[in-house]
Amino acid sequence: MSSPTHVNSYYAASANDKALRPTLSGEHRCDVCVVGAGFTGISTALSLAEKGKKVIVLEGSRIGFGASGRNGGQIVNSFNRDIDYIFKNYGDDIGHKMAKMAFAGSELIRQRIEKYQIDCDLKHGNVFAACNEKQFAELKAKKHLWESHGHNELELLDANSIQAHIGSERYVGGLLDRKGGHIQPLNLVLGQANAFEALGGMIFEDSKVVRLEHGIPGKVITEQGVVVADKIVVAGNAYVFGLLPEVEKKAMPCGTQVIATEPLPEDLQKQLLPTDRCVEDCNYLLDYYRLSGDGRLIYGGGTTYGARDPGKIESIIAPKMLTTFPYLKDVKIDYAWTGNFLLTMMRMPQVGIIGTNLYYAQGYSGHGVTNSHLMGEILADAMEGDTERFDVFASMPQYPFPGGRMFRVPYTALGAAYYNLRDKLGI
C-alpha cells in the first residue's frame, strides 16, 4: 500500500517537515480526539495541549492535506460577511461580540509563529484592490467600519498611491491593512503540529475516520484502530464526508485554483509588488496573489462550485495573471494546483455541538486562514467550560442551500455569474 502524499504544489515542494506520521492501530484513550489535521484541527489540538490535555489527532491523509496546505496563504481579517452585515442580520448583541473577534485570528497566528519560532515566511500587510469606483467606495466604508471597531492600522490608497504597492494599471484604488499579511500555509500548520507534538500530543496520518460512536466517552473508529475520548472534535472542513450528515447538507465544497511561477529576478519582484504585500481584488470571484519567500509570484482565483478539479489549471489562472501583469507573458509556471474550501449558505462559520461532547467547526467560506486559527482557540475554551465565544457562533442559524444536493451547485453558480457580471459592469 502506498503512503498518502500531498498534491504537487509549491507548498508541498517547500515544506519544512516531510516526515510521515504513523497510522493509527489498536485502541487508544485520550481526553480529546480531533478529526482532521488542518488549521482548525491543529489549532484546537495545540490550544488544548497548552491547557495540559491529552489529545490525539487523526488525519485521513497528511497534515495540511486540504485547504490548509493549498490556499493562497493570505492573512485576511474579519469574516466573509463583514461586521456591518452581522449587525444588520443578527442584531446588536451578536454584532458587538463578533466585532471583538474579527481581528483576533491574525493576532493569534503571529503569536503562535513567535512563540514556537515557526519558519513560514511571514510577511506583513495585505491590500484590498478596487477594480472600479463602486468597489473603491466600499473600501472607504470598510475603513470607517473597521476603525469604528478599534482597527486603526489601515490606509486608503488612491489610483496613484496603490501603484506604490502593485505594479499594475488595473486598479482605481485600494485599502492597505497592516494587520493582514501572508505566510507559507503548509509550513504554518506543520510548525504548529510540531509544537503540539512537543507538548505530548499525538498525530496519526493515513488514518481516515470511518465511523463515530456517540456516547460518553465517544469512539472514533478508523479501518485499523479506535480512539476512545471524553470529547471529540470534527474539523475536516471540505474533506470530511458522512460523519455529520445533518451538518454537511448545510455546506458545499468549492474549488479554487493556484499557480506559482518560477523564482523571479529581484528587480521584477520589485516591479510586481514593491512593498511585498499580498493582494486580493474586490470582485465576487476574486483574484489573489503574493510573492513567496523565494521570490515566486503565487496567483490564484476563480471558484469551481461542487469541488470538481478543473483540468489545465494553468490555462485558467495564467490569463488572469496576465490581465493584471501583462509583462509576465514569458515567465514560466512551475506549479499549478487546486484545493477545496467549504462554503456555507450564510457565508458564516458553521459551529456547534452534538449531544454533550461532539464539537464541530467548518465552513469559513474563503476566510479560513484567520477564522480557523481563532476557532481552534474557541473550541478549546468551550471544552474547558468557557463557552462565551463558542455560543456566539453556535447561536447563528445555518440553512441548507436551495435545490438540495442535486441543484445546489447550479443555483450557486448562477448566483455567482450574476455577481461576476455586476463586477464587470461596475454596478
The C-alpha torsion from 376 through 378 and 380 to 384, rounded to 10°, is: 180
Beta 209-213 vs 218-222: how paired, if at all? antiparallel
- pLDDT score for 242: 86
Expressed as residue numbers, the domain containing 197 is 10-70+186-250+346-410
Cα 204 from Cα 230, distance rounded (Å): 18
As a whole number, mean pLDDT of residues 60-64 equals 97
For residue 18, is it left (φ>0), alpha (ψ between -120 and 50) or beta? Answer: alpha
Query: In the predicted model, is pLDDT for residue 175 greater than 50?
Result: yes
- Is 222 within a domain? yes
Angle in degrees, CA 426, 137, 319, rounded to 5: 45
What is the rounded average pLDDT of the residues 67-84?
96
> Does a structural domain hold residue 366?
yes
The pLDDT of residue 308 is above 80: no
pLDDT of 46 higher than 70: yes
- Give pLDDT, residue 402: 64
Kindly state whether residue 420 falls inside one of the protein's structural domains: no
| Structural domains in the chain (count) | 1
What mean pLDDT is reported for the chain? Answer: 92
Query: pLDDT tens-digit profile of 222-248?
Result: 999 999 999 999 999 888 888 998 888
Q: Which residue from 86, 124, 85, 79 is spatially nearest to 105, judged by alpha carbons?
A: 79
pLDDT of residue 239: 86
Burial of 178 (0-12, 13-18, 19+ CB in 10 A): middle
The pLDDT value given to residue 345: 85
pLDDT above 70 covers what percent of the chain?
A: 92
Section 60-87 average pLDDT: 96
- The predicted pLDDT at position 309 comes to 67
Q: Residue 360, exposed/middle/buried by CB under 10 A (0-12, 13-18, 19+)?
A: buried
Average pLDDT for residues 63-73, to the nearest whole number? 96
**Whole-angstrom Cα distance, residue 60 to residue 73?**
22
Share of the chain above pLDDT 90, in %: 81
Instruction: Give the CATH number for residue 239.
Output: 3.50.50.60
Query: Quick check: 416 pLDDT over 50?
Result: no
Give domain status of residue 148, yes or no. no
Rg of the chain over Cα atoms, rounded to whole angstroms, equals 21
pLDDT, mean of residues 313-337: 96
| Cα 33 to chain centroid, rounded | 22
Q: 3-state secondary structure string, 180-194?
A: EEECCHHHHHHHHHH
Rounded average pLDDT over 187-198: 98
- Per-residue pLDDT, averaged over 32-58, amounts to 98
Report if residue 207 sits inside a domain. Answer: yes
Segments in 9-161 forming alpha helices (H): 10-13, 39-50, 83-90, 92-101, 104-116, 133-148
Give the mean pLDDT of 196-206: 98
Query: Is 418 part of any domain?
Result: no
Give yes or no for a contact between 278 and 300, defined as CB atoms under 8 angstroms apart. Answer: no
> Does residue 226 form part of some domain?
yes
Q: What pLDDT does 412 receive?
A: 41
pLDDT (tens digit, 9 = 90+) per residue, 388-404?
A: 999 999 999 888 876 55
What whole-number distance in Å separates Cα of residue 365 and Cα of residue 341? 7
Q: CB–CB of 361/40 below 8 Å?
A: yes
Phi, psi of 8 (to 5 degrees): -80, 80
Degrees (nearest 5) of the Cα angle 125, 130, 134?
A: 140
State mean pLDDT over 281-306: 90
Q: Quick one: pLDDT at residue 165? A: 98
Give the lowest-confidence range in 61-65, 171-175, 311-315, 408-412: 408-412
Q: How far apart are CA 126 and CA 177, in angstroms?
A: 5
Domain-located, residue 332: no
* pLDDT tier at 114, thresholds 50, 70, 90: very high
